[in-house]
């Protein structure tokens, strides 16, 4: 018995809709996947990143606080680890436990980052140097003006090669005219330093991890 024409037409329409949906699904999935995150400036891919506390230049030319000697260098590394743990899906930050002696007791200025990274099974090592920290500007006496300059590097553990070297500068407040904060320097410098550190961590994380697409 031959089914009625209306039944055949309905069946064909149902099949056509299913085929159309199957064809459109990969396209829509692909588009949403590419729009979820903007590409990072420095792409490390799926990586295990060891973050080593930063060095810090002193006020005199010869003064340099080595890795693990600078309190701000340690805090910046901790900030970066927290930032990347929450905002950087492709990168897994690793604990630096067990590498302090390897780094701190290096006899030369060149730390063997490949050896250090292998201690914790890292694919890359992030570290750097705090170039300067300032809380005032001679042009605006009586105002707190934060300036933070950091040079940072990423090394590939497999061959010890430096993948990137960049210098970032941040200032808080961004517009000096809006920064007339007249409070005690002791407590305010602490708050200002926390803001500078947070901004620097965000910039470095953005460079290595990209950002969520709007």
74: exposed, middle or buried (Cβ count in 10 Å: 0-12, 13-18, 19+): middle
pLDDT of residue 28: 41
Q: How confident is the model at residue 177 (pLDDT cuts 50, 70, 90)?
A: low
CA proximity to 152, closest of 189, 185, 113:
113
- Is 149 contained in some domain? yes
**Verdict on whether the full-model pTM lies above 0.85:** no
What contacts 35, CB < 8 A, 6 or more positions away?
213
Cα-based torsion angle of the residue sequence 70, 75, 78, 82 in order, rounded to the nearest 10 degrees: -160
Q: How confident is the model at residue 128 (pLDDT cuts 50, 70, 90)?
A: very high
Q: What percent of the chain has pLDDT over 90?
A: 49
Instruction: Give the residue ranges of DSSP H helices in the chain.
Output: 5-35, 71-87, 100-104, 113-119, 185-209
Which residue in the block uniquely carries the two structure tokens 């039944």?
7
Instruction: Tell me the per-residue pLDDT of 141-172, one tens digit each, with 9 for 90 and over.
Output: 777 888 999 999 999 999 999 999 999 999 88
What's the mean pLDDT in 61-72?
86
117 or 2: whose pLDDT is higher?
Answer: 117
Q: How confident is the model at residue 185 (pLDDT cuts 50, 70, 90)?
A: very low
- Is 27 contained in some domain? no
- Is 34 contained in some domain? no
For residue 172, the enclosing domain spans: 45-212
What's the mean pLDDT in 167-193?
69
What's the mean pLDDT in 189-211?
92
109 or 31: whose pLDDT is higher?
Answer: 109
Average pLDDT over the chain, rounded to an integer? 80
- Total domains in the fold of the chain: 1
- Here the CATH number for the domain that contains residue 60 is 3.40.50.10610
- Is 197 contained in some domain? yes
Say yes or no to pLDDT of 206 above 90: yes
* Angle formed by the axes of helices 185-209 and 71-87, nearest 10°: 50
- Is 20 contained in some domain? no
- Is 90 contained in some domain? yes
Instruction: Tell me the per-residue pLDDT of 103-120, one tens digit each, with 9 for 90 and over.
Output: 987 755 689 999 999 999
- Is 188 contained in some domain? yes
- Is 38 contained in some domain? no
Compute the half-sphere exposure of residue 93: CA atoms within 13 Å on the CB side of its CA: 21
pLDDT of residue 127: 96
Instruction: Give the residue ranges of DSSP H helices in 131-210.
Output: 185-209
């Amino acid at each position: 018995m031959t089914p009625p024409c209306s039944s055949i037409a309905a069946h064909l329409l149902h099949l056509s809709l299913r085929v159309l949906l199957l064809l459109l699904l990969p396209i829509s999935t692909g588009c949403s996947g590419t729009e979820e995150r903007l590409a990072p400036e420095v792409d490390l891919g799926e990586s295990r990143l060891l973050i080593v506390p930063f060095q810090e230049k002193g006020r005199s030319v010869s003064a340099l606080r080595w890795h693990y000697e600078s309190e701000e260098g340690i805090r910046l590394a901790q900030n970066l680890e927290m930032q990347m743990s929450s905002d950087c899906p492709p990168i897994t930050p690793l604990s630096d436990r067990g590498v302090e002696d390897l780094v701190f007791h290096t006899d030369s200025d060149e730390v063997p980052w490949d050896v250090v990274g292998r201690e914790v099974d890292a694919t890359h090592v992030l570290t750097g140097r705090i170039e300067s920290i300032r809380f005032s500007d001679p042009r605006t006496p009586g105002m707190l003006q934060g300036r933070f300059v950091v040079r940072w590097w990423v090394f590939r553990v497999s061959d010890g090669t430096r993948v990137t070297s960049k210098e970032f500068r941040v200032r808080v407040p961004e517009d000096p005219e809006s920064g007339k904060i007249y409070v005690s320097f002791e407590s305010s410098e602490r708050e200002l330093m926390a803001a500078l550190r947070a901004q620097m961590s965000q910039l470095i994380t953005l460079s290595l991890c990209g950002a969520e697409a709007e």
